[in-house]
């Protein structure tokens, strides 16, 4: 194999740049040319491809995001779109492809593999929702970002005697909520993998208040439902002022942790 391509696809994750760097450096040191594909499968279909060298990946190991940029591509889900991608791979002489991303990205990589393209997937998603891997690139950084936010919200929550619901990413995987809740000392953790009883949560909050507890933190995975409706219901049932914080895309940003850099 003389030429490979590398792309990042789907939601970005801290550590993707470290993974790109590792792919490019390893390939070049083994005499293989690397073509960088801009904006994931969109770039593959449209031919937005350029050769990468060692300078392309200099000084990026500490940077969040992805220098190759990323996107979601509806066209690639069609047979016509995938045929375009296969044609572009042939035009650029790309014999193998490295895909860095999550489950949707891997589904696309699998389609190319079935079409005869040698394909490798590198798990890169903050959600940590891929099978056959303990940790995905980006999860640890996102977890630490969330944990820092939990500590700050706890400060203001204690000052006002409130309950705080903190919604985190993860879609239908509760790992971010679970790990950050355990590490942050949350009073309740609500994840899609387990059924939850709102009355039990409210009872626990009232018991805490009665014994002098100043505040409570409830970690919520985004796949559960509407955080604001949940907060309203808790406040009505307990009489405890309840605020909601949706951390959102801040979880995807920032310099990757040492763990994510080494994992990449």
- pLDDT tens for residues 123-132? 999 999 998 8
The pLDDT score that the predictor gives to residue 198 is 94
Pull the structure tokens for residue 6.
């590398």
Tracing tokens 């279909």 back to the chain, one arrives at 45
| Catalytic option among 12, 127, 140, 175 | 127
Q: Is 127 a catalytic residue?
A: yes
| Residue 171 parent element (H or E) | none
- Residue 108 inside a domain? The answer is yes
d(CA 144, CA 152): 13
- Residue 257 inside a domain? The answer is no
The pLDDT score that the predictor gives to residue 223 is 87
- 89 and 178 co-located in one domain: no
Tracing tokens 């801040």 back to the chain, one arrives at 250
- Residue 100 inside a domain? The answer is yes
Q: Of 124, 152, 176, which residue is a domain's last?
A: 124
User: Model confidence at 63, in pLDDT bands (50, 70, 90)?
Assistant: very high
Q: What residues make up the domain containing 10?
A: 3-124
**Residue 254 gets which letter from DSSP?**
S
* Cβ atoms of 137 and 124 closer than 8 Å: yes
Torsion sign, CA atoms 105, 40, 124, 152: negative
Q: How far is CA 245 from CA 41, 132, 220, 260, in A?
A: 33, 32, 10, 26
- Residue 243 inside a domain? The answer is yes
- Residue 65 inside a domain? The answer is yes
User: Model confidence at 190, in pLDDT bands (50, 70, 90)?
Assistant: very high
- Residue 115 inside a domain? The answer is yes
- Which domain CATH number covers 71? 3.40.50.450
- 117 and 147 co-located in one domain: no
Q: Of 124, 152, 167, which residue is a domain's last?
A: 124
**Residue 257 gets which letter from DSSP?**
P
Rounded to the nearest 5°, which phi and psi values hold at 108? -65, -40
- 119 and 167 co-located in one domain: no
d(CA 30, CA 52): 14
- 19 and 113 co-located in one domain: yes
For residues 211-239, give the mean pLDDT.
94
Helix, strand and coil content of the chain, in percent to the nearest 5, comes to: 45, 20, 35
For residues 88-100, give the mean pLDDT.
97
The pLDDT score that the predictor gives to residue 99 is 98
- 178 and 231 co-located in one domain: yes
* Cβ atoms of 117 and 85 closer than 8 Å: no
d(CA 85, CA 104): 16
- Which domain CATH number covers 202? 3.40.50.460
- 13 and 115 co-located in one domain: yes
Residue 3, beta-bridge partner list = 33
- 146 and 119 co-located in one domain: no
- 103 and 19 co-located in one domain: yes
d(CA 97, CA 195): 40
- 66 and 163 co-located in one domain: no
Residue partners of 261: CB distance under 8 A and separation at least 6: 15, 18, 61, 62
Q: How many domains does the chain have?
A: 2
- Total Cβ atoms within 10 A of residue 2: 10
- 60 and 161 co-located in one domain: no
User: Model confidence at 225, in pLDDT bands (50, 70, 90)?
Assistant: confident
Exposed, middle or buried: residue 240 (CB in 10 Å: 0-12, 13-18, 19+)? middle
- Residue 135 inside a domain? The answer is no
Q: Of 124, 153, 179, which residue is a domain's last?
A: 124
| Residue 218 parent element (H or E) | strand 216-221
- 118 and 231 co-located in one domain: no
Instruction: Express as a percent the part of the chain with pLDDT over 70.
Output: 100
- Give the max Cα distance, the chain: 71
- 35 and 98 co-located in one domain: yes
- Residue 263 inside a domain? The answer is no
């Amino acid at each position: 194999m003389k030429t490979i391509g590398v792309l990042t696809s789907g939601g970005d994750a801290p550590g993707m740049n470290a993974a790109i760097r590792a792919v490019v450096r390893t390939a070049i040191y083994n005499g293989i040319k690397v073509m960088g594909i801009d904006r994931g499968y969109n770039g593959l279909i449209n031919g937005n491809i350029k050769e990468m060298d060692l300078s392309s990946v200099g000084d990026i190991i500490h940077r969040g995001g992805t220098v190759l940029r990323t996107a979601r591509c509806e066209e690639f889900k069609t047979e016509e779109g995938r045929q375009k991608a296969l044609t572009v791979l042939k035009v650029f002489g790309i014999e193998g492809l490295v895909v860095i991303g999550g489950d949707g990205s891997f589904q696309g990589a699998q389609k190319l593999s079935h079409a005869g393209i040698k394909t490798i997937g590198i798990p890169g998603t903050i959600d940590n929702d891929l099978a056959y891997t303990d940790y995905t690139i980006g999860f640890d950084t996102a977890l630490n970002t969330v944990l820092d936010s939990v500590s700050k919200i706890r400060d203001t929550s204690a000052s006002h005697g409130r309950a705080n619901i903190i919604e985190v990413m993860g879609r239908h995987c509760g790992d971010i909520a679970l790990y950050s809740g355990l590490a942050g000392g949350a009073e309740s953790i609500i994840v899609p993998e387990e059924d939850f009883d709102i009355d039990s949560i409210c009872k626990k909050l009232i018991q805490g208040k009665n014994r002098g507890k100043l505040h409570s933190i409830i970690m919520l995975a985004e796949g559960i439902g509407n955080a604001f409706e949940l907060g309203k219901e808790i406040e009505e049932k307990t009489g405890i002022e309840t605020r909601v914080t949706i951390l959102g895309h801040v979880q995807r940003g920032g310099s990757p942790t040492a763990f994510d850099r080494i994992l990449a």
